[in-house]
Amino acid sequence: MKSAPTSNGGGVPVVIRGLHKSLAGQPVLCGVDLAIEPGEIFVIMGPSGSGKSVLLRHIIGLTSPDAGEVLIGGESIQSPSVRDRIRMAMVFQSGALLNSLTVAENVGLYLREHALLPPAQIDARVAEKLAAVGLTGQEDKLPGELSGGMKKRVAIARALVVEPQLLLYDEPTSELDPMMAATVSREIVALQRRLHVTSIIVSHDRDLAFGIAHRLAIIREGRILCVGTPEAVRALPDAGVREFLDANFKHA
C-alpha cells in the first residue's frame, strides 16, 4: 500500500523542537523532537494518556506549548500569518458531523460559512471531494443514515475541501471493524499519492501504522521512544520496544 514520499506538490515540512506541556500540574509532553518531511505519511503511536493527542493539537495550533516550538513550512504555528500561507485541516476522531445537515452540507460548510467560493464552485468541489473518498451518490443523506466508516470518510472529504497541504487525523480507524478500517487506511494512502499532502496520524492501530506509514514514532509518557520506518522499528534490537508494542497496540 505504501508509496515513496515526495517533496513535490502541496505537502509541507513539520518540525517539532523541544516541546513541553503540562496539564493540571502534570507533565504531558516532555521535550518532544520530531521532523516530518513534505508529502510523508507519519504515524504517531501511543497508548491512552501518552500525550499523542495533545501533541496533535499543538501541531495544528489548538494548544500552545509551555516551551519549545512547532514549525510548519519553516514558520511557527503561533505566527498569525501561517494560516494565511499554509492550508491545514484536521479529521477528528468522532467525525464531528452536524446531524441536522446532509453529507453535502457538512462537507461544504466551511466554504459556505466563509464565502470562500461562489455556490456553484462549492457544489463542484464538494462533489469532487466526495468522489475522492468513494461517496458519490451519498450527498443527500444525513449522518444518522451512514455507517461508521462512511462518517469517517465524510469527515475526510470535509477536510479536503480546503485542499490542505497538511492533514491531521485523530484515530481515523477507531471503532471501525477490520474491513472498514482497511478501507479508511487505503483512502489515506490514495489521497497522499494523489495530492502529495503531508499526513500526520495518531493511532492505536498497529496495522494502520505498520501498513501505511512512511515513518512512525512511538510516544510513551510524553517522550518519543523511537522513530523510524516500519521496517526499522520492527528490527530494533531493544526487546523492551517490542514488548511495549505487543502490550499496548492492537492488531485490526
Q: What is the pLDDT of residues 64-84, one digit of tens each?
A: 999 999 999 999 999 988 888
Distance CA 67, CA 22 (A): 10
The stretches of the chain forming alpha helices (DSSP H) are: 52-60, 82-85, 103-113, 119-132, 148-160, 178-195, 206-212, 230-234, 239-248
Highest mean pLDDT among 83-87, 123-127, 132-136, 234-238: 123-127
Asked if residue 5 belongs to a domain, the reply is: no
* 170 and 105 in a common domain: no
Asked if residue 37 belongs to a domain, the reply is: yes
pLDDT grade for 6, boundaries at 50, 70 and 90 = very low
Environment class of residue 226 by beta-carbon count within 10 Å: exposed (0-12), middle (13-18) or buried (19+)? middle
Structural domain total, the chain: 2
Residue-wise pLDDT for 34-50, tens only, equals 999 999 999 999 888 88
Asked if residue 50 belongs to a domain, the reply is: yes
Q: Model's pTM, two decimal places?
A: 0.86
* 130 and 251 in a common domain: no
Residue 5 is predicted with a pLDDT of 42
Q: What angle do CA 137, 142, 146 make, to 5 degrees?
A: 75
The residue ranking higher by pLDDT, 232 or 191, is 232
Task: Name the residue range of residue 209's domain.
Answer: 10-87+165-252
* 190 and 73 in a common domain: yes
* 209 and 250 in a common domain: yes
Asked if residue 189 belongs to a domain, the reply is: yes
